[in-house]
Chains A and B, each alone.
Chain A
Amino acid sequence: MTPLLSVEKLNVFYDAFQAVHDVDLTVGEGEIVSIIGANGAGKSSFLKALVRQAGRVTGSARLDGCDLAALSTREIVAKGIALVPEGRKLFPTLTIFENLRIGQELGRKGDIGFEQVYEWFPVLRERRDSRARELSGGQQQMVALGRALLANPRLLLCDEISLGLAPRVVNELYAIIPQVRERGVAVVVVEQDISRSLAVADRFVCFLEGEVSLSGRPADADRDTIMQHYFGGAH
C-alpha cells in the first residue's frame, strides 16, 4: 500500500540559505505525525514547502502517488492538503463566516461542512458575523482550523496551533484532532511544545537545523534522547 504522503530528499532554499536538508517522510492515511524541533529548525518551511509556499523547493513530494512539484498551491489544496499556517493568518476584516467559506470554496468536496465545524467549535456559529480581528486568540485559532477542515483535506497540516494560547483552549483544539483522524484524515502536527504533540501522535520526527535528527514512536523514545536531538549535541 502506498502511503498518503511520501516525501523524499526535500530541500528548501531561501536564496543561498538552505532551511531544510534532504528530509524524507511518509504519512499514512489516518495517521498523526508530529514534527518537533527548536525555533528555526525548519518545521514551518517544511510544511509550507508541501504546499509550494516556501522559497525554492527541490526533491519530491507525492500525495497518493501524485507528484506535487508540478502543481500550484491552489491545485494542491484542491487535491487535499490544507495548511493551518503559523500565526493563524486569518483575514482580519472578513467575518468568521467569510473566512470559513473561503476555505470551503478552495478545497475538496467532502462531508465536512459548516454544520460539522460549528459542532466542533460552537462559538464560531455564535460569532459567525463578527470580524476575525474581533475574536480572541483561541477563537481565531478555531477559525483557522475550521477554515482548513472545511477544505475537506486528506492531509491536514497544523503549524503551532497552541502558540500563545491558554492550556484550556489548547485542550479544546487538540481534542478535535483524533476526531478528524477518525474520518480518515492524516494529520501532521508541528509544535515546539513536545509533550503536547507527542501525546496525540502515532509517530514523531525531530528536526534539527533543517535535518531530521530523530524519528520514532512516542512510546519508544525517552526524554533525554529527544532533548539531545532537539537542541543538538551540546545539551
Chain B
Amino acid sequence: MSTPMLLGARAILAAGVLACLAGPWLFDANSLTVLTEFFIVVTLALMWNLLAGYADIISVGQQGFVGVGAYAFFGFTALLHMSVWAAVPLAALTTLLIAVPVMAVIFRLRTAYLAVGTWVAADVLMLIAGKLPGFGGGSGTSLPIPVVKQFGARLGDRIDMFYALSLGLALIAFLATWALLRSRIGLGLTAMRDNEEAAGSSGVDLVRTRILCFLWTAPFLGLAGVMTALEKLRVAPTASFNITDWTIDIIFIVVIGGIGSLEGPILGAILFFLLRQWLADFGAWYLILLGVISIGVILFEPKGLWGACRRWGFPDILPAGHAPGPGAPERVAGPDAQEAPAARTVG
C-alpha cells in the first residue's frame, strides 16, 4: 500500500543483492561457503514453489533432478574429460532430456498421485545412479583434482568461483522464473493458482502449462545439482539424491515463507538458515519443529509469512505481474465450495 514502505523494502533488497555481488570482497571464506549453499537452496525453493504455488504439482521427487545434474557433471568431466565450462551447460541439458521421459510416465498420474509419482521417479533415478559404471556405485566417488582445479588453482579462488556460480544460478533462476510468471503463460499460471477451475474454463491449457513448468524446473535443478557436487567435491547416490536436503527442507522453506509468491521462498530460505544456525544442535527436534510450524502455517496462514505480510498491507516487492491485490477474493469456501462452478467466484 504505502509507497515509502515499498521503496524501503526495495532498497533493502537492492542493498542485499549488491552486497551479494560484492561478496568475495566483503565476506570471509566461511561465510562465502554458507552463502553458496544458501543460493543453491534459494534456487531449489524457487523451483519447488513454481510447481506447487502455480502449477499445482507437489513434487516430492525434486532431489531426482538435482542428482541427475550432479552425476551428469561428473560424467562429462571426470569420465569424458570435457572442460568444466562445457560440462555445466551439458549437465543442465542432460537433466532436461531425462525430465522428458520422466514427465511422460508420471504425468499419467493426476494430482495427489502425481506427488508420490515424482517420489518413485526420483527413487528410480537414484538407484540407477548407484548402478552406473564409473560413478563409484552405492558409495559414490570424489571429483578428480584436475577437474576441481579448473575452477581455480588455489582454494580461495575456488571458493570465490563457486560462490559466483551459485549466486549467478540463483539470480538467473529468479529472473527467468519472474519473466515466466510475467509472460502470457504466467497469466495462466496465476489464474491457476487463484482458481484452477477458472483457469481451465477460461481456456488455459492446464496440462500443457503444467508440463511446461515441470520441464522448466529441470535444468535449474540440474544446475543446482552441479553446484552440490562442487560444494561436496563428490557425487554419491545418497548425497546427490538426498531427499532431506533437496526436497524436504525446501518444502518447509517454501511453505513457511509463503507458497505462490516470489518473495516467499527467499524469505523462507533466509529464515531457514537463521534457524539452522541456532537450532542445528537439536538434530531431529529441529525437523520436528519445522514439521509442526509448517502444519500450523498450512492450517492457519496458508500463504505463509509472505501471505501474512500481504494481509497486513505489505505490497509485493516483486510483483509477478498478475498477482491479485490484497482485497482480491480467495476461493469460495462455503459448504458447497466443491460444486460451485468457478465462474461464480466474484472478481
Nearest B residue (CB) for A89 = B339
One digit per residue, 1 when the CB lies within 8 angstroms of any chain B CB and 0 when it does not, for chain A 10-38 equals 00001111000000000000000000000
Tell which of B143-151, B205-213, B327-335 binds the partner.
Answer: B327-335
One digit per residue, 1 when the CB lies within 8 angstroms of any chain A CB and 0 when it does not, for chain B 146-167 equals 0000000000000000000000
- Residue from the list A15, A53, A54, A55 in contact with B346, Cβ < 8 A: A15
- Residue from the list B329, B335, B336 in contact with A15, Cβ < 8 A: B329
- Residue from the list A14, A48, A52, A53 in contact with B332, Cβ < 8 A: A14
Contacts of B335 in A (CB 8 A): 52-55
Give Cα distance in the complex from A56 to B336, angstroms: 11
Give Cα distance in the complex from A14 to B335, angstroms: 10
Contact A48-B346, Cβ < 8 Å, known A15-B329, A16-B329 = no
Give Cα distance in the complex from A52 to B256, angstroms: 35
Is B108 located at the chain interface by the 8 A CB criterion? Answer: no
Contact A48-B336, Cβ < 8 Å, known A14-B344, A15-B346, A17-B346 = yes
From residue 312 to 347 of chain B, which have CB atoms closer than 8 A to chain A? 329-330, 332, 334-336, 340, 344, 346
Contacts of B332 in A (CB 8 A): 14-15
Contacts of A54 in B (CB 8 A): 334-336
Nearest A residue (CB) for B329 = A15
Contacts of A14 in B (CB 8 A): 332, 334, 340, 344, 346
CB distance from B328 to the nearest CB of A (A): 11
Give Cα distance in the complex from A14 to B345, angstroms: 9
Give Cα distance in the complex from A56 to B346, angstroms: 16
Contacts of A53 in B (CB 8 A): 335-336
User: What is the interface of chain B mostly: helix, strand, loop, or mixed?
Assistant: loop
Give Cα distance in the complex from A14 to B346, angstroms: 9
Give Cα distance in the complex from A166 to B332, angstroms: 34
Nearest B residue (CB) for A56 = B334
Nearest A residue (CB) for B344 = A14
Give Cα distance in the complex from A15 to B195, angstroms: 15
Nearest A residue (CB) for B335 = A53
Most buried by B among A14, A48, A53: A14
Contacts of A16 in B (CB 8 A): 329, 346
Nearest B residue (CB) for A13 = B334
Contacts of B344 in A (CB 8 A): 14
Nearest B residue (CB) for A40 = B344
CB distance from A52 to the nearest CB of B (A): 8
Give Cα distance in the complex from A54 to B336, angstroms: 7
Give Cα distance in the complex from A16 to B328, angstroms: 11
Contacts of B329 in A (CB 8 A): 15-16
Give Cα distance in the complex from A190 to B178, angstroms: 50
Contacts of A15 in B (CB 8 A): 329-330, 332, 346
Most buried by A among B330, B334, B335, B346: B334
Contacts of B336 in A (CB 8 A): 48, 53-54
Interface positions of A (Cβ within 8 A of B): 14-17, 48, 52-56
Interface positions of B (Cβ within 8 A of A): 329-330, 332, 334-336, 340, 344, 346
Can you name 6 A-B residue pairings with CB atoms under 8 Å? A14-B334, A17-B346, A48-B336, A54-B335, A54-B336, A56-B334
Q: Which 5 A-B pairs have the closest CB atoms?
A: A55-B334, A17-B346, A53-B335, A14-B334, A14-B332
19 more A-B residue pairs beyond the given contacts A15-B346, A53-B335, A55-B334, with a C-beta to C-beta distance below 8 A: A14-B332, A14-B334, A14-B340, A14-B344, A14-B346, A15-B329, A15-B330, A15-B332, A16-B329, A16-B346, A17-B346, A48-B336, A52-B335, A53-B336, A54-B334, A54-B335, A54-B336, A55-B335, A56-B334
